[in-house]
Chains A and B, each alone.
Chain A
Amino acid sequence: MNELSPLHLLLQTAVAFASTIAFAVIFHTPRRELLYTGLTGGAGWLVYLLSMGLGGGVVAASFLATLALTVLSRMFSFARKAPVTVFLICGIFPLVPGAGIYYTGYYFFMGSNAQALDKGLETIKIAVAIALGIGFVLSLPQVLFSFKRKGR
């Protein structure tokens, strides 16, 4: 299937939306915020797919996706008067390198040291990219995000 076909993107985003809400439930998110966490997660994944499809690497794509979803989290945080963490933790769940940690450990214990090192470095790079993305957007002044809401 074409990586950038609208149908594929739509389906993937919908699944990311559902998965974010599923994990938001596990994290005991208040029910009235569930929809918004889902939107954050879906948007992050959409940007990730687009960046990947346009030839960015995993690390760059994670960074861009984090930027987008953190901006969205801050807007929701302002609009919903809830801490930004709620949208952020749920929203980054699809991007976060959980699978990478597992593969690193798996290859390590299976004796494939080269693959373990490869995966391990990639995992760290992704985690740093996401942390940088979050840190960057969180350090922007609040005015930007309150302004956006009034503009709508």
Chain B
Amino acid sequence: MPQTDSALELSFRMGQALLENGAEISRVQETMERVVQSYQVESFNVYVLTNAIFVTGTEAGVEHAAKLKHVPSTSTHLGRICAVNQLSREIAQGEHTVAEAFAQLDSIETLPYSPLPLAVLGCAVGSAAFSYLFGGSPFDAFVAFFCGLALECYLYFAGKRGMSKFLTNLSASALVTLCGGVLFLCGLGHNMDKIIIGSIIRLVPGVALTTSIRDFFHGDYLSGAIRMLDAFLVGGCIAVGVGFVVKVLSTLTGGALL
């Protein structure tokens, strides 16, 4: 069991919470350093990567701590990032003892996700809106709405089953294309391309690519490279998923689809 009086442990757990919920590297590093500075820790070194944190430190004279932990890439939870940020601000102002901060952190780590119906609605509205923003007609947006509904439900169940990221993206993009394609062939919507792009926007790693370049600018080359490779792989998976279904559907229907 982790000790509940170690500032090093606290800083480490806060860094882990930030990284797991999708904060950028520099924020993780800064927060960890800020927390440690607020307590009596003699020396502290931290190195953060997209998927790992390395810490060494000296606390209470003789105590040495060395930590490394693999942090698997997970979903973005901005609520938790907000909360950890608030906590670190309060710690820096000297409002908490280490034990109190641990109690706060425990409650942050159990902050709920958005309820499924709300997330499904969000994905559907988002898909429809992007279909329209990318130049689709309102009818295309209407079709994308239903693809978005199906997508978020599918992602939820894939997440529950612990399906690999690679397979999830491949199958999810194939599913939405199938869904969009069938509705399109039923005569709904005008432009297959706009329907697809709206529906898969939930999956596509645009933010990851931009973050990777921000990491490069910060000098975090390794983290940037990891994120960029990840973005390319995910993008490739999605393209294969979509491309496969489009080919199959257009062969079946004699080229009615784009």
CB distance from B257 to the nearest CB of A (A): 13
Provide the B10-46 mask, 1 if CB < 8 A to any CB of A, else 0: 0000000000001110010000000000000000000
**How many B residues are at the interface, by size bracket?**
35 or more
**In the complex the two chains form, is A131's CB within 8 Å of B214's CB?**
yes
Taking the nearest CB of chain B, how far is it from the CB of A86, in angstroms?
5
Q: B76 an interface residue at 8 Å Cβ cutoff?
A: yes
Q: What is the interface of chain A mostly: helix, strand, loop, or mixed? A: helix
Chain B 194-205 near chain A by CB (<8 Å), digits 1 or 0 = 000100111011
Q: Cβ of A69 < 8 Å from any Cβ of B?
A: no
Question: Quick one: given A102-B242, A123-B209, are A19 and B78 in contact (CB under 8 Å)?
Answer: no
B174-206 CB contact bits vs A (8 Å, 1 = yes)?
000000000000000000000001001110111
Known contacts A16-B129, A85-B81; is A26 also within 8 Å of B204 by CB? no
Q: A26 touches which one: B81, B126, B209 (CB < 8 A)? A: B126
* Residue B79 interfacial (CB < 8 Å): yes
Judge whether B101 is part of the interface by a CB distance below 8 angstroms: no
Q: Does chain B have a CB within 8 A of A90?
A: yes
A128 within 8 A of B: yes
Are A104 and B113 closer than 8 Å at their CB atoms?
A: no
CB closest residue in chain A, given B84: A83
User: Which residue of chain B has its CB nearest to the CB of A29?
Assistant: B78
The 0/1 profile, CB within 8 Å of A marked 1, for residues 110-132 of chain B is: 01011000110111111001101
Q: A16-B129, A22-B123, A101-B231 in contact; A131/B77 too (CB < 8 A)?
A: no
SS class, residues of chain B in contact with chain A:
helix
CB distance from A80 to the nearest CB of B (A): 9
Q: Roughly how many angstroms separate A28 CA and B113 CA in the complex, as a whole number?
A: 6
Q: Which residue of B lies closest to A82 (CB)?
A: B82
Write out the residue numbers on chain A whose beta carbons fall within 8 Å of the beta carbon of B210.
Answer: 92, 96-97, 127, 130-131, 134
Count of chain A residues near B, Cβ 8 A: 48
**A45 on interface, CB distance cutoff 8 Å:** yes
Contact A94 B217 (CB under 8 A): no
- Do residues A86 and B213 form an inter-chain contact, with CB atoms below 8 A? no
Q: Is B57 an interface residue (CB 8 A)?
A: no
Q: 1/0 per position for B81-124, CB-CB distance to A under 8 A?
A: 11001100100000000000000000000010110001101111
In the complex, whether B243 has a CB less than 8 A from a CB of chain A is yes
> A150 an interface residue at 8 Å Cβ cutoff?
no
In-complex Cβ contact of A89 among B79, B204, B207, B209 (8 A): B207
Q: At the interface, yes or no: A75 with Cβ under 8 Å from chain B? A: no
A93 at the interface (CB under 8 A from B): yes
Complex: chain A residue closest to B205, CB-CB: A101
Bound together, the chains give a CA A96 to CA B132 distance in angstroms of: 16
Stretch at the interface among B48-56, B63-71, B232-240: B232-240
CB distance from A128 to the nearest CB of B (A): 6
Given A102-B197, A131-B213, verify A15-B129 contact (CB < 8 Å): yes
Interface contacts beyond A18-B129, A19-B130: sample of 19 additional A-B pairs, CB < 8 Å, sorted by A: A16-B133, A22-B124, A22-B129, A26-B202, A27-B78, A82-B85, A89-B78, A89-B207, A93-B206, A93-B207, A96-B206, A98-B205, A99-B206, A101-B231, A102-B204, A102-B242, A104-B235, A128-B213, A131-B210
CB-defined A-B contacts under 8 Å, sample of 18 = A15-B133, A18-B125, A22-B126, A23-B126, A26-B126, A33-B78, A45-B133, A89-B78, A96-B209, A97-B210, A98-B201, A98-B206, A104-B235, A105-B240, A106-B239, A109-B243, A130-B210, A135-B214
